[in-house]
Copies of this chain bind each other. A is one copy, B any other.
Amino acid sequence: MDFFQRHQSILDNAIQAVHQRTFFAQYPEHPSPKIYGETADQEGREKFQQGLDKKFKELNQGDPVDWKGDEESPYLQKPLGIQYPIYNVNDLIEKGSKAFHSWRKVSPEDRAGILIESLERVKERFFEIAYATMHTTGQGFMMAFQASGPHASDRALEAIASGYEELKRFPQNALWDKPMGKYNIQIQKEWRAVPKGLSLVIGCSTFPTWNSVPGIYASLITGNPVIMKPHPGAVLPIALVVSEIQKVLQETGNDPNICQLAVDTFDQMITKDLAEHEQVKLIDYTGNSDFGNYLEALSGKTVFTEKTGVNSVILDSTDDLDKVLGNLAFSVSLYSGQMCTAPQNFFIPQDGIKTSDGQVGFDELAQKFVDSINGLVDNPKAGPFVLGAIQNKKTCDRIAQASQLKGKVWLESRTIENPMFKGARTATPVVVEVDASQKDLFSSELFGPIALLIKTENTNQSIQLAKEMAIKHGAISCGAYTTDGKLKEKIVDEMSLAATPVSFNLVGNIYLNQNAGFSDFHVTGGNPAGNASFTNPEYVIKRFTWVGFREPVPA
């Protein structure tokens, strides 16, 4: 089967989309029966349930030394009981290194065909992956479906398209024909895009496919074999993706070890052993800054990180305060603030903000924000599904600490009941007012549904603090609300220097937490929140080296 030929139009469209940066989606985000089939949802749920308390046997990477698994459902607060094959680090490295020498010789066309085919197979399992994501990350169903399914696959396709384009950017061969007066020097030249080698992708617990597939596919399209090391708490979603990649590799006569899954457990983590191994040349990572900084400092590796940051919202003026607060209430509540893009620091002038109904004071604004959050989380048709569940118990501790901060607690966090999962670990947002002078309180990421209302002298101070936080501590997103065109340009300019994207005046069904494949670069790479970006050219270019060869043309 010539998968390149079959999928060439997908690839062409994706490459075009990378450059147009308008709306493009290869994989429909709505879990509609009309698109995915009337029985897809039920079948996916059943498949997920059938896999519980069993060995995961879909991988094709040789005999394991053990079977283990640590996953627990945040909705059930009990283990999933799935056991994954366990491999020794040296075994993984050896198989990956062997696979390197076959995969690097596969043409970019064939690699692209194989990888897109794997995405087409993954599409058939979006519902199963969605349930796997819900019960490992705590995401609500809709987010689990979209983020781990179509949005992740679109990001993967974006990486394939970007990588393919870079690989084809320069001619494979050229005749260098230099006039020397009475004769010409003619040199035949050839260039090869040489992959750097074994690639390690380190997954996170909250977005097990969305944050990992860009690195996996970027490394694979550029000829590097991948070892996918998932977070021990969120294995199944990416295990399903890796198994589909392996199946297509095998069907096409390639070594399935070109993409291996390296599961470990909380009591025996293998991440450092893999990362420090001299054969590992590329590392992709999503997670906390401490470990990310350790990885970035490893010598002899090309490292792509998405770490932590403190995201700001600058509130200055608006024509429709209710819509603004509704939008922001959703942003802090969505997946209980467990998104790297969730806003945390809300900078509000002490005199309040300008609205079409006149000035709204700080306290009034705070109370309206709290009301808006309560309206959302207490709505039984919305709250439980928007909030989802809390992935990690430690997040609950952090929420408890937040209401002990030296500031006025405008809203305490509560648990709410999920009508489908009585045992779900839930937490609604906590809202605390602090002063701009209490910088230590808002200078680090408080992961979870924690919102700080920071009272500033004025909007200029808000901007300066948002910029300073981003430069010193990193930021992945920023929201700003202003009706003043000059101020908007000032925010753009100042936040651009902090390499932080800004969403202005978002209301309605679009949130600053959301970054769209093929259009929004996710993480800029320019501040401490990460050194890489989905998917700018650097993200794929750094995975291979251009090497030239030349020889005179015989006279």
A residues with CB within 8 A of B: 19-23, 166, 169-171, 174-180, 185, 187, 189-192, 194, 196, 297, 299, 492, 495-497, 499-510, 516, 519-521, 524-526, 533, 536-538, 541-542, 545-552
Measured between beta carbons, the chain B residues less than 8 angstroms from A506 are 551-552
Cα–Cα distance between A177 and B516 once the two chains are bound (Å): 12
**Do B549 and A192 touch (CB < 8 A)?**
no
**Do A548 and B516 touch (CB < 8 A)?**
no
Measured between beta carbons, the chain B residues less than 8 angstroms from A526 are 194, 196, 545, 547
**Do B176 and A22 touch (CB < 8 A)?**
yes
CB contact between A552 and one of B299, B507, B520 (< 8 Å): that residue = B507
16 contacts between A and B (CB under 8 A): A20-B174, A22-B175, A174-B519, A176-B516, A185-B508, A185-B510, A189-B520, A492-B549, A496-B549, A502-B549, A503-B549, A504-B550, A505-B551, A505-B552, A506-B552, A541-B541
Cα–Cα distance between A266 and B519 once the two chains are bound (Å): 51
Copies in the complex: 2
**Do A19 and B169 touch (CB < 8 A)?**
yes
Which residue of A175, A521, A547 has the most chain B CB atoms within 10 A of its CB atom? A547
**Do A166 and B537 touch (CB < 8 A)?**
yes
**Do A192 and B551 touch (CB < 8 A)?**
no
Measured between beta carbons, the chain B residues less than 8 angstroms from A499 are 194, 545, 547
CB contact between A194 and one of B169, B299, B497 (< 8 Å): that residue = B497
Cα–Cα distance between A507 and B495 once the two chains are bound (Å): 56
Cα–Cα distance between A59 and B187 once the two chains are bound (Å): 42
Whether A537 contacts B547 in the complex (CB less than 8 A), given A21-B174, A176-B516, A497-B194, comes out as no
Minimum CB–CB distance for A341 against chain B, Å: 13
Cα–Cα distance between A496 and B191 once the two chains are bound (Å): 10
Cα–Cα distance between A508 and B554 once the two chains are bound (Å): 11
Measured between beta carbons, the chain B residues less than 8 angstroms from A21 are 170-171, 174, 176, 189, 191
CB contact between A536 and one of B20, B194, B546 (< 8 Å): that residue = B546
Minimum CB–CB distance for A522 against chain B, Å: 10
Whether A533 contacts B546 in the complex (CB less than 8 A), given A19-B170, A170-B19, A185-B510, comes out as yes
CB contact between A501 and one of B176, B538, B549 (< 8 Å): that residue = B549
**Do A185 and B538 touch (CB < 8 A)?**
no
CB contact between A541 and one of B180, B538, B549 (< 8 Å): that residue = B538
Cα–Cα distance between A18 and B426 once the two chains are bound (Å): 56
Cα–Cα distance between A520 and B541 once the two chains are bound (Å): 17
Minimum CB–CB distance for A492 against chain B, Å: 5
Measured between beta carbons, the chain B residues less than 8 angstroms from A516 are 176, 178
Measured between beta carbons, the chain B residues less than 8 angstroms from A495 are 547
**Do B520 and A548 touch (CB < 8 A)?**
yes
CB contact between A537 and one of B187, B533, B541 (< 8 Å): that residue = B541
**Do A537 and B192 touch (CB < 8 A)?**
no
Minimum CB–CB distance for A555 against chain B, Å: 8
Cα–Cα distance between A500 and B187 once the two chains are bound (Å): 18
Minimum CB–CB distance for A97 against chain B, Å: 12
Minimum CB–CB distance for A360 against chain B, Å: 21
Cα–Cα distance between A536 and B22 once the two chains are bound (Å): 28
Measured between beta carbons, the chain B residues less than 8 angstroms from A520 are 189, 548, 550
**Do B524 and A23 touch (CB < 8 A)?**
no
Cα–Cα distance between A276 and B395 once the two chains are bound (Å): 38
* 10 other A-B residue contacts (CB within 8 Å) besides A21-B176, A194-B526, A502-B550: A21-B170, A23-B179, A169-B537, A501-B549, A502-B549, A504-B551, A521-B546, A536-B541, A537-B537, A541-B541
The 10 A-B pairs of least Cβ separation, nearest first, read: A526-B545, A504-B551, A501-B548, A23-B178, A499-B545, A194-B496, A21-B174, A496-B547, A524-B545, A23-B176
Minimum CB–CB distance for A477 against chain B, Å: 10
**Do A185 and B509 touch (CB < 8 A)?**
yes
Minimum CB–CB distance for A104 against chain B, Å: 9
Measured between beta carbons, the chain B residues less than 8 angstroms from A525 are 545
Measured between beta carbons, the chain B residues less than 8 angstroms from A537 are 166, 169, 537, 541
Cα–Cα distance between A519 and B524 once the two chains are bound (Å): 31
Minimum CB–CB distance for A325 against chain B, Å: 16
Minimum CB–CB distance for A379 against chain B, Å: 21
Cα–Cα distance between A541 and B22 once the two chains are bound (Å): 22
**Do A496 and B174 touch (CB < 8 A)?**
no
**Do B550 and A503 touch (CB < 8 A)?**
yes
Which residue of A194, A505, A508, A548 has the most chain B CB atoms within 10 A of its CB atom? A548
Minimum CB–CB distance for A348 against chain B, Å: 20
Which residue of A21, A192, A492, A499 has the most chain B CB atoms within 10 A of its CB atom? A21
